[in-house]
Amino acid sequence: MWKGRFKEQTAALLQSFSESISFDWRLWRHDIEGSIAHSAALEKAGLISKKERAQIVAGLRGIGEEIAAGKFRFKTELEDIHMNIEAELTKRIGDAGAKLHTARSRNDQVALDIRLYLRDECDAISELLRDLQRALVELAERNRDIIIPGYTHLQRAQPVYFAHHLLAYVEMIERDLGRVADCRKRINVLPLGSGAIAGSTIVLDRKLVAKLLGFPAITQNSMDAVSDRDFAVELLAALALVATHLSRLSEDVILWASSEFKFITISDAYTTGSSLMPQKKNPDVAELTRGKTGRVIGNLVSLLTTLKGLPMTYNRDMQEDKEPVFDSVDTVKAALAVFAGMLDGTKANAAACAAAVADPMLLATDVADYLVNRGVPFRSAHEVVGKAVALCTQRGCDLPQLTLADWRTLSPAFEKDVARCFDLATAMAARKGIGAPSPKNVAAQLARWKKSLS
């Protein structure tokens, strides 16, 4: 491939070791878009004629159509997407094609392509994050009256609306959206024009290129521009967090779908059977999502590790950025889409939830609060109710079965109305501080999200 200083052919072993076309072919659309904009700057500088520009644009579009139709044959000996497209262009249009790489290096070209690719993917991922928020809000809305035990340490803690639990994930995803939008700002900067490292003696109008490609900003240091992959790290970090959130949601879904909980039933379309046990209906979507999170986190660590030892500026190591980036983008997009589909077909089981939330121990804190409202310091109240729990354990009964006399042996502050602590509706209505799950609050949050997602 290299003429000029090389007398020997590249060794076949090196060719297959160094090629990236097997994975960076997918940057073709962005590579072509970038080259078309670059050719406008070449024309403006008088380096190519209007006619040559037209040949370049038509040639590139023709190549693009063939790639889109799956008819283009990529060549490993041409190493990467940039060389494949440029070589084919020159083969087709001759000299005009050979002029395209003027004042450009693959170093700024690849930086441009990844930025264009990631900018598109930020938008696609944001759409999918919104869709998942919608699926969560709709599941919450369909089951807005269902109350379940909330858990800490996976031990029953306090009652919450099922909707409140789901809306917690909607909040997490909102922050994920913020992170994607934030790193998109730093992705959205034009690196082309930085050349291999130090720009070029042939000066092109970078502002024109930025305008044509929709970049609101231009990199200001050519060395930084060709060696910077921070923006990719940022997106991988944002995606690692998206995956981590999905993984936690997966864990909830897996627990809730178990016979032990039975809070939800996932549709047949989003579950799988067992090759051996006929009764099984497995929550594979959630398990695979949880499993794939390991890869997505690994991709972040992989790219950071690739970058950490690199001297300025471009080093070939940086070619290793692509596979982790592509893998995280593909994996997270697929998980988001399949998860939303699964939630759309998920039903909550009112009876099982009601049975679980009927556990009076979930309201032990409410009894302590009852005492606090009668002047008992919280620490003493906590101890008193702890003793009541111990008494129940000893007798094998539940808190509501204790008599007023029992309660009063523990604290004289108890009155007959202690029984009212165990009314679930009253208990929920009392949780009315900002962010707490009173029915009114949860309804307001559902309304807020429905509005902002519509």
> Could you tell me which stretch among 201-209, 237-245, 311-319, 334-342 binds ligand ARG (CB under 6 A)?
311-319
Question: In which residue are the tokens 């009212």 written?
Answer: 420
CB of 226 to ligand ARG, least distance (A): 9
Count of CB atoms situated within 10 Å of the CB of 5: 5
Position 80 contacts ligand ARG (CB under 6 A): yes
CA 306 – CA 409 distance, rounded (Å): 67
The three-class DSSP label of residue 196 is coil
Position 41 contacts ligand ARG (CB under 6 A): no
Position 228 contacts ligand ARG (CB under 6 A): no
Query: Considering beta carbons, is residue 20 or 39 the nearer one to ligand ARG?
Result: 20
CA 145 – CA 168 distance, rounded (Å): 17
CB of 194 to ligand ARG, least distance (A): 13
Q: Answer yes or no: 153 catalytic.
A: yes
Contact call for residues 193 and 199 (beta carbons, < 8 A): yes
Residue among 49, 258, 274, 452 flagged as catalytic: 274
How many chain residues touch ligand ARG (CB under 6 A)? 10
Position 319 contacts ligand ARG (CB under 6 A): yes
Q: At what angle do helices 439-453 and 162-187 cross, to 10 degrees?
A: 40
Q: At what angle do helices 106-142 and 230-257 cross, to 10 degrees?
A: 30
Q: What ranges in 100-193 are assigned the alpha helix state H? A: 106-142, 162-187
Position 30 contacts ligand ARG (CB under 6 A): no
CB of 90 to ligand ARG, least distance (A): 18
Q: Strands 264-265 and 217-218: what pairing?
A: unpaired
Position 316 contacts ligand ARG (CB under 6 A): yes
Q: Which residues pair with 150 in a beta bridge?
A: 158
Nearest Cα to Cα of residue 117 among 53, 191, 58: 191
Residue among 153, 259, 275, 454 flagged as catalytic: 153
DSSP assignment string, 206-236? HHHHHHHHT-SEE-S-HHHHHH--HHHHHHH
Query: Considering beta carbons, is residue 107 or 219 the nearer one to ligand ARG?
Result: 107
Q: Answer yes or no: 274 catalytic.
A: yes
CB of 277 to ligand ARG, least distance (A): 47
CA 60 – CA 33 distance, rounded (Å): 9
CB of 124 to ligand ARG, least distance (A): 22
- Site pattern 103..122 for ligand ARG (x: CB under 6 A): ---xx--x------------
Query: Considering beta carbons, is residue 82 or 184 the nearer one to ligand ARG?
Result: 82
Q: Which residues bind ligand ARG (CB under 6 A)?
A: 20, 24, 80, 106-107, 110, 314, 316, 318-319
Cite the active site residues.
153, 274
